Amino acid sequence: MKKKEKRLVEIINKSEPLVRLLKVCQQSALPQDYYIGAGCIANTVWNYLSGNPFAYGISDIDVVYFDDKNTEIENEVIYKRLLLERLEEFPFKLDVKNEARVHLWYKQKFGFQIEPYTSLEDAIDSWPTTATSLGIRRENKDSFVIYAPYQLDDLFSMVIRPNKKMITKEIYEKKAEKWQSKWDKLTVIPW
């Protein structure tokens, strides 16, 4: 494991809710192709680097998976319910999404149509910033899979850089403004 990946795992292992969720996801009926990712991972690292409590600023936790054979929304609901039952009292909103069905609702939410993703990694490649295009899952007690297509430099440097693969300037600026209001040490790279 590379130095920054090892550091990421060490920081994640300090967050009790994330450790618990990673363990429950590993033991659940989720498809094998899943990650916990995006803002909740970046926010946890930024909290650690800023000396904030681990839960500070985290609005939800994203659990993403890819199942292009079954894109019914009911499956997301079932997986979310199963995870929440096993987690019992969990301090965050849990957002469970099948990335194989994002193209079905994206236009209604963001105003423009996207092509279907071909894999979970294809979806993560398009997330709004280089620091938050990131997923992690636990393979066993001491082994993790980390997918970070833009590496971890921006994450640990607290740099917000647009990933222009899919988002608009407006989406990026709204997210960057929200994050910078919570983590004032962030450096936002203009669009």
pLDDT, tens only, 17-58: 999 999 999 988 888 889 999 999 999 999 999 999 999 999
The DSSP element (H or E) to which 110 belongs, if any, is helix 106-110
Rounded CA gap, 156 and 134, in Å? 12
- Domain spans of the chain, in order of start: 3-188
CB atoms within 10 A of CB 28: 17
Contact in structure between 87 and 61 (CB atoms under 8 Å): no
Local structure of residue 66 (DSSP, 8 states): -
Contact in structure between 106 and 53 (CB atoms under 8 Å): no
The residue type at 182: K
Q: What is the pLDDT at residue 46?
A: 98
The residue type at 160: I
Burial of 47 (0-12, 13-18, 19+ CB in 10 A): buried
Contact in structure between 129 and 172 (CB atoms under 8 Å): yes
Average pLDDT over residues 122-131: 97
Position 1 pLDDT exceeds 80: no
Q: What is the pLDDT at residue 28?
A: 87
